[in-house]
Amino acid sequence: MASASLQFFAFILALFGVFGDITATLLPNWKVNADVGSNIITAITQMQGLWMDCTWYSTGMFSCTLKYSVLSLPVYIQAARTTMVLSCILSAFGICITTVGMKCTKLGGDTESKSHACFAGGVCFILAGIFGLVPTSWYTREIISNFLDQTIPESSKHEPGGAVYTGFISAGFLLIAGVIFCTSCFKKQQGAWIYPPKQHHFPSTEQESNAGYNLKDYV
């Protein structure tokens, strides 16, 4: 019962991780630059994401431009696109697989099959968390290095946006969920190895009849 509750808790964490992963991939605010200027009325907020760049004006206007050319993008943005999409796909697969393998569901067949499915789903969550953690860390490193570079003008410097923090939190949720799923299945298999089922050996009736027949021959 405790293991089933722990798996359900890990499943909830994985759901938050999947939704956060998809949200972070689509949001345009991976890095933000706020240019107030000489007047607060003409303040401009520039945001850059993986798929589009957006500009928000203090007057209420909002405009976005899609990044159509892939080859013109920096390497870290291309890598972030690829790894974040892979993270979303793996986490979605993990949700489907663990739904079958969880103890509180009636899918997946016998206990051994459900345990294998649960372990496979946990591996998908761990890989999805790693694929989500790598691009957010790399992207943050590029933002910080450009911010500390004295040769870059202040108007071209950015700070990490909300999408980066969402990606970090989602990757953490996926990693925790994956570890819980894999650990719960491993504990169960380890218990079966330490305490194997006892085998009861009963003498066969055929051997008893043969022994009785041989004793009669000596009488």
List strands edge to edge, sheet with 52-57. 62-66, 52-57, 44-48, 31-35, 159-160
Q: Among 79-83, 88-92, 199-203, whose mean pLDDT is lowest?
A: 199-203
**Phi, psi torsion values for 55, nearest 5 degrees:** -130, 130
User: What is the pTM (predicted TM-score) of this model?
Assistant: 0.78
Residue 109 region, left (φ>0) first, then alpha (ψ -120 to 50), else beta? left
Q: In the chain, where are the structural domains located?
A: 4-27+70-194
pLDDT at site 110: 74
Q: Yes or no: say if 114 and 101 are a contact pair by the CB < 8 Å rule.
A: yes
At residue 150, the 3 state secondary structure works out as: coil
Q: Distance between CA atoms of 56 and 22, rounded to whole angstroms?
A: 23
Q: Which of 78, 108, 87 is nearest to 96 (CA)?
A: 108
- Of the ranges 37-51, 93-107, 200-214, the best mean pLDDT one: 93-107
CA dist., res. 130 & res. 84, Å (int): 10
The pLDDT confidence band at residue 18, using thresholds 50, 70 and 90, is very high
* pLDDT of amino acid 187: 54
- The CATH number of 4-27+70-194, from 1.20.140.150, 1.10.10.60, 1.20.120.720, 3.30.70.1450, is 1.20.140.150
Report the chain's C-alpha Rg in angstroms. 29
Given a contact cutoff of 8 angstroms between Cβ atoms, the answer to whether 132 and 83 are in contact is yes
Distance CA(49)–CA(84), nearest Å, equals: 12
